[in-house]
Amino acid sequence: MSFSATILNVNDDEATRYLSTRTLKMAGYKVVEAATGHEALRLAQEVRPDVVVLDVKLPDISGYEVCKRLRANPETASIAVMHTSATYVTPDKKVRGLEGGADAYLTEPFEGEELVATVRSLLRMRRAEQQLRRRTESLEEADRRKDLFLAMLAHELRNPLAAITTAVGILDRRPPVDPKEGRMISIIQRQTNHLARLVDDLLDVSRMTRGKVELRRTRLDLRGVMEQVLTVFRPLADNRKLTLESHLTAVPLWMEADTTRLEQIFTNLLDNATKYTDAGGAIQVRVEPVARNGLAGAVVRVKDTGIGIRSDILPSVFDLFAQADESLERTRGGLGIGLTLVRSLVELHGGQVEAHSDGPGQGSEFTVWLPLLPEASEQEPRDVVMPDLVKRRRHILLVEDNADARQALQDLLETWGHRVEVAADGLRGLELAVQRTPELALVDIGLPGLDGYRVAEELRAKMGRAIRLVALTGYGGTEDQTRARQAGFDLHLVKPVRPDDLDRLLSQL
């Protein structure tokens, strides 16, 4: 392997340079020579040697400066550098050279064997660094492909989920033929929502590992968030024959937080509790103010009477893919990522989460502590009167290439009394928008030909603010939302959109 390496030998003393070059060539290396610092920098750029044997004292610029410039240039920064000197031989000079970026320092005179051995050592180090760099680049590329795959997978899963969610929303608004039909509709609703949460959790874990999750903080009362989450979970608990008790403090718990992410935290904890608690069990939720380390805060406790957690699993329960149910049957389901998200989101809010269990069969308790706003800043009025939401018939353009999703959403909107125009691609959507002038357009992003971003840009250019634009898409990342706003969309909705949420949106416009 030695004769594939190239050495740049830099020394203004011809005799010393000749001896070093001859020694290195006899060892099988290809050698290029330079007598000045500037010549060394030029050859390093042109030849890209594996090692530079660099004398410190040169006629134009010092070897220290040459080494500094090599390190500053990304194209030569990885070249191994060995200082040599017959003048600067004191320990402080060696320290200066090594701290300046050199990989080795030999004082003259030195034996030929010492020179060759040091070069071989530097070559081994350089090969190891190159292998590590290639492996890192390979891992980064694999990680990029993984993220792309997850984004595409989420998009492809959300299209059929959107069609199912919308279709079930229509069925749910009609009286069932018999009790069995009503139960079947409820099952489809629950399982579709469960699939949607799994897709969201999978993508959120990917974003968390890349540090790409940003909080959209607003001033809120934590009690309101908990009431919303509990309202959603009570029917699920009843269906599983579980008792769900809640004890919320009467004191307002004002905080700066991301409402959606808080709901995600407590939805995952309650989902976990219902999953691991058998019929006849109980789940208790308690919310109360608790200060920690002199900071105002609130504690949310989610306690269940479920299967409990073994002591050996408890320390790693928040780790990615860790699960309490490790049996082959895995009857409890799940991906093992919900609690990982809980910990990450709680910590992003400046809080802490802990898990406790007395062992198998003894249930579990998860405690979340979140910081509150100081009492001095509590200027929020206690009684807030919200205006009544006025529903009215709207003229809506729906641009969606998935036939099932398009038909289901059109039927749902028409059931609510809206006038709906539909288009299966972006170009047709543009034509209808200009011809029929709807007040609102629901536009899918992944359209054939002209994508949703281009559609929004064209509509803004042609119609200005005369039309409201809502992106309806399977791409839900922060970068996707930013791009949607830049294209001209007023809102960005991630599929599947629950009918109640869409109805609320149309009422609030």
The verdict on pTM exceeding 0.85 is no
Instruction: For residue 307, report the phi and psi dihedrals to the nearest 5 degrees.
Output: -75, -10
Can you name the CATH fold of 2-110? Rossmann fold (3.40.50)
Output the CA–CA distances (angstroms, integers) from residue 152 to 39, 89, 99, 155, 446, in the order listed.
52, 61, 47, 5, 10
**Which residues partner with 287 through β-bridges?**
248, 300
pLDDT score recorded for residue 202: 67
- What CATH number matches the domain at 218-375, 3.90.1300.10, 3.30.565.10, 1.50.40.10, 3.30.70.360? 3.30.565.10
Q: Contact, 80 vs 105, CB < 8 A? A: no
How would you list the strands of the sheet with 352-356, edge to edge? 243-248, 282-289, 297-304, 364-371, 352-356
- Is-same-fold flag (2-110; 142-213+389-509)? yes
Answer yes or no: are the C-beta atoms of 196 and 496 closer than 8 Å: yes
Q: Give the fold, CATH level 3, of 142-213+389-509.
A: Rossmann fold (3.40.50)
pLDDT values of the chain reduced to their tens digit, one per residue, 509 residues: 444 789 999 999 899 999 999 999 999 899 999 999 999 999 999 999 999 999 999 999 999 999 999 999 988 888 999 999 888 778 888 888 888 888 888 888 888 899 999 999 999 888 888 888 888 888 878 777 776 676 676 667 777 877 787 887 777 777 767 777 777 777 787 777 767 766 776 666 666 666 666 777 888 899 988 988 888 788 888 888 999 999 998 888 999 998 878 988 998 899 889 888 998 999 999 999 998 888 899 999 999 999 998 888 888 888 755 555 544 333 444 445 778 888 888 998 999 999 999 999 999 999 999 999 986 344 444 433 333 333 568 899 999 988 888 888 888 888 888 889 999 999 999 999 988 889 999 999 888 888 999 999 999 998 888 899 999 887 767 778 888 899 999 988 888 787 877 887 887 76
Domain residue extents for the chain: 2-110, 142-213+389-509, 218-375
- Integer Cα distance of 207 and 205 in angstroms: 5
